[in-house]
A and B are shown apart, each in its own frame.
Chain A
Amino acid sequence: MSGLKTINDFLTQMTKMLTDARSIRIKGRSFLAVVLAPDLPFDDWLVRLDDLAARSAGFFLGRPVVLDVSDLPIDRAQLKELIAELAGRNVNIMGIEGGRPSILGPGMPPALKGGRPVSDEAVAKEPIIELHNSEPKPSVPEARPTLQSVVIREPVRSGQSVIFPEGDVTIIGSVASGAEIIAGGSIHIYGTLRGRAMAGSLGNASARIFCRKLEAELLAIDGIYKMADDMAPGLRGHSVQLWLEGDSIMAEKLI
């Protein structure tokens, strides 16, 4: 009997899930993290860190910190000890970069990879850490973020991805079935869109998708998805622009 009840509960839950029309938003977001790259021996390095912390109290408070241990010949115990030492100084490590799988383990921050150096402008907005230089850098007036765009002058082939979280993507050519374009801003395609296009990938509801001929497999703006089957059939094969209104993707023919 209890088994039957469980199945019934499960079915009720399934029905509830299937009838729930709200879509799930999946978004990417990037944060600027401070990267600490310790060197050996750790004792000396910690002394210098304490020196810095003494001069600017609370520097690491509430700040995402990534530990870069690339090329350091250390074992798991040493890493664990270092993390504990840092925790004692209120430096909480959110991730470890460049660590060999053998030195990472349960209870440790997750491994991170694919980090990119940040432009000087972006770094300027954040206080700069200089462990060797005792003179604090003069503060730089806040620079306005420059809007960026990328132009691709050839067709995007099946299996290729164009990922550009910094801004708009323009393709002069077609986007093949099985190819994908992911842009932080809008996507402009002067050709046929047969693959996937995801605009406003970092949370930009005003991003739009434009294409000369719509044959897309999937469209997304700001995390709201639309599959090929959900698109109005009248739009197929036409010049179309797509934008977001609330939680739904709107589309209209151009010209």
Chain B
Amino acid sequence: MAETIQKESAAILEIRGLQKAFGENTVLRDISLDVEPGNVVSIIGPSGSGKSTLLRCATFLETADGGDILYDGQYAVRGGVYAPKADLARFRTRYGLVFQSFNLFPHYSVMRNVSEAPILHGQNKDEAQEYARSLLKKMGLEGKENAYPFQLSGGQQQRVAIARALAMKPEILFFDEPTSALDPELTGEVLKVIRQLAEEKMTMVVVTHEMPFAKAVSNRVIFMDGGVIVEQGDPISVFDHPKEERTKQFLSVFER
């Protein structure tokens, strides 16, 4: 960890000047963002605005071209240069990611989906399974331990995916449009458990199109467009008194 330094900042996640382009197409231009412990940050914006790419860079699924990413004040990425693989592996244990398309392992039971990663990380099997069981109960999935993903509804699958991410005891949880692949009648049950996590002061970054949800649950809302953060602030100021023209335009679509 020679490259990492302790910092004064209390932020769990710090992103500074993040740059990302896919070929000619610049997706992120100089994005900076802090996430403090216990906060819920929602990222909204039109598709193609770079929201998902931002999450994917923060979770190392995409490689940023430039900028810094720090977890707990330690550099995972500094000036576009990534920490050694072993360090990145340790940074990975600090966060969890919930995907739009769940990405559960179809050949594993619900229990194994949730408990295998902690066991592979050296946790005692009984303890990992017990913790998995308690998480599933919290997600309203008691009794589904032995089911396979194909036997569950989309909403149930996404809640298993949330339990799976929580099983690693992350300090911060990322959601990449967690309800976009769900039928409308199933989004509620997923948003409910995210709201419950927010009440428990889980630190979360949520990319979402669910505006009422973002307004209700967030400490801070970030509006992105064209690879930049156009506007950010507390939910009331962003949703009810947006300053930027582009924010107003975007939000007006949802008011109809």
Whether both chains belong to one complex is answered with no
